């Protein structure tokens, strides 16, 4: 019985996502065979979405079902969002004196056109090689030997059911074009086991960063095989920073690169974030750059005097207006922000995408942080 509320919610969400779009695009304007065919299509979506999500993300781990369910979820979210907006616009048309059936037809045509354009654009934005975003960040107490250091950030690649091997290779080539001194992957590397996803991840072994390549876990590693991915990334030459740090030395100057586990890791013995352990033994005079997957971890970073925290996790909302829900959990959606007197946080919108292969008003990025003494 304890699973009944979850089951009800699991079935109610597809019904809710389909009900308003059905009324907007079919129920309010169609009749006869068109009404029957359109209604049958939406009923099929209501049934297919939970079935595909269960088969794709449940015990069966079917890649085909995952692609179907994730794509259907993303499309329905876009159509639902614009159905809400369209019906609000319909009320404005009614106030303006536009009567039915013309009003409902205008709304339906507008919702269909906007949704179709945004779905097409969203797929393109999700599957393209990310744009490079370069940002200079002033770091107090940064030694002159590190002024101008180029730190490239990847995060939330989410290698999953869609085979993005070619995309992975192109991302690595673009990263190397940025001439990074340090490369970081801030978690959510892949969804699934090492055995199934490693071909897409393996090109990361070709990233060239002479001062080090560092990796931390995100929450999605703990939904799959976190120990396996940690070991695999180490085998590719990336240093997993599991509640530990490395000190980079140039002449007389030092820079501490630290990393902590994602909070989801507490469910696995020996895992979970431990910032004091990560900073134990670090030079107190050297500035600290901390990799922490979730922006909300910055509260502890600020208390510890971390100079810069680098995070991902939010995807910038990925599909507008989902970012409003993300902001209920995280203090920042994207970009550079300040927390406390001495700590800055850079939150990446992510390099890949999770689930639905759409990005709407939340473009992906490869980030180049140029550290400046300041």
Does the structure show a pLDDT above 80 at 156?
yes
Residue 166: pLDDT over 90: yes
Residue 316 pLDDT = 97
Cis peptide bond N-terminal to 101, omega within 30: yes
Express each pLDDT in 350-369 by its tens digit.
999 999 999 999 999 999 99
Q: Sorting pLDDT into bands at 50, 70 and 90, what band is 1?
A: low
Q: How confident is the model at residue 9 (pLDDT cuts 50, 70, 90)?
A: confident
256-305 confidence digits (pLDDT tens) = 999 999 999 999 999 999 999 999 999 999 999 999 999 999 999 999 99
Query: What would the pLDDT profile of 176-232 be if each residue is shown by its tens digit?
Result: 999 999 999 999 999 999 999 999 999 999 999 999 999 999 999 999 899 999 999
Nearby residues of 277 by Cβ (< 8 Å), 6 or more positions away: 243, 244
| pLDDT > 80? residue 3 | no
Q: Stretch 241-266: mean pLDDT, rounded?
A: 97
Per-residue model confidence (pLDDT) at position 94: 95
Q: Is the pLDDT of residue 169 over 80?
A: yes
Domains within the chain, CATH numbers bracketed: 3-127 (no CATH), 131-373 (3.60.21.10)
Query: Cα–Cα distance between 124 and 135 in angstroms, integer?
Result: 25
Q: What pLDDT, on a 0 to 100 scale, did the predictor assign at position 19?
A: 95
Mean pLDDT of 243-262: 97
Q: What is the mean pLDDT of residues 144-163?
A: 97
- pTM (predicted TM-score): 0.94
pLDDT at site 8: 72
pLDDT digits (tens, 9 = 90+) for 321-352: 999 999 999 999 999 999 999 999 999 999 99
pLDDT digits (tens, 9 = 90+) for 82-111: 999 999 999 999 999 999 999 999 999 999
Query: What pLDDT shows up at residue 6?
Result: 72
Judged against a pLDDT cut of 80, whether residue 53 lies above it is answered with yes
Residues 23-36 have pLDDT tens digits of 999 999 999 999 99
The mean per-residue pLDDT over the stretch 117-145 comes to: 97
The predicted model gives 130-153 an average pLDDT of 97
**Cβ contact 214:182 at 8 Å:** yes
| Percent of the chain's residues with pLDDT above 90 | 94
- Mean pLDDT, the chain, rounded, equals 95
In the prediction, which pLDDT does 4 show? 66
pLDDT-based confidence at 2, cuts 50/70/90? low
């Amino acid at each position: 019985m304890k699973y009944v509320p979850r089951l009800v919610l699991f079935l109610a969400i597809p019904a809710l996502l389909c009900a308003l779009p059905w009324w907007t695009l079919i129920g309010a304007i169609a009749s006869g065979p068109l009404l029957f065919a359109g209604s049958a299509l939406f009923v099929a979506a209501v049934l297919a979405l939970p079935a595909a999500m269960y088969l794709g993300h449940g015990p069966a781990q079917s890649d085909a079902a995952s692609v179907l369910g994730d794509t259907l979820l993303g499309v329905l979210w876009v159509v639902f969002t614009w159905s809400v907006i369209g019906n609000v616009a319909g009320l404005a048309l009614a106030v303006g004196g536009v009567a039915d059936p013309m009003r409902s037809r205008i709304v339906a045509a507008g919702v269909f056109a906007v949704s179709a354009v945004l779905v097409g654009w969203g797929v393109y934005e999700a599957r393209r090689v990310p744009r490079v975003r370069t940002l200079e960040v002033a770091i107090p107490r940064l030694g002159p030997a590190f002024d101008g250091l180029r730190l490239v950030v990847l995060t939330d690649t989410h290698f999953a059911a869609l085979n993005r091997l070619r995309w992975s290779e192109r991302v690595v080539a673009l990263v190397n074009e940025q001439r990074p001194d340090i490369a970081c992957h801030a978690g959510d590397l892949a969804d699934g086991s090492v055995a199934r996803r490693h071909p897409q991840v393996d090109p990361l072994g070709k990233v060239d960063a002479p001062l080090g390549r560092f990796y931390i876990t995100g929450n999605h590693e703990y939904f799959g095989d976190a120990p396996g991915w940690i070991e695999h990334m180490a085998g590719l030459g990336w240093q997993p920073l599991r509640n530990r740090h490395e000190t980079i030395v140039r002449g007389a100057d030092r820079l501490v690169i630290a990393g902590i586990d994602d909070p989801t890791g507490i469910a696995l013995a020996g895992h979970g974030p431990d910032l004091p352990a990560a900073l134990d033994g670090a030079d107190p005079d050297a500035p600290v750059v901390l990799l922490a997957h979730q922006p909300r971890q910055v509260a502890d970073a600020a208390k510890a005097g971390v100079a810069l925290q680098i995070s991902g996790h939010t995807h910038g909302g990925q599909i507008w207006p989902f970012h409003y829900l993300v902001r209920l959990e995280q203090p920042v959606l994207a970009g550079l922000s300040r927390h406390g007197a001495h700590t800055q946080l850079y939150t990446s919108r992510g390099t890949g995408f999770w689930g639905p292969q759409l990005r709407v008003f939340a473009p992906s990025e490869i980030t180049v942080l140029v550290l400046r003494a300041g």
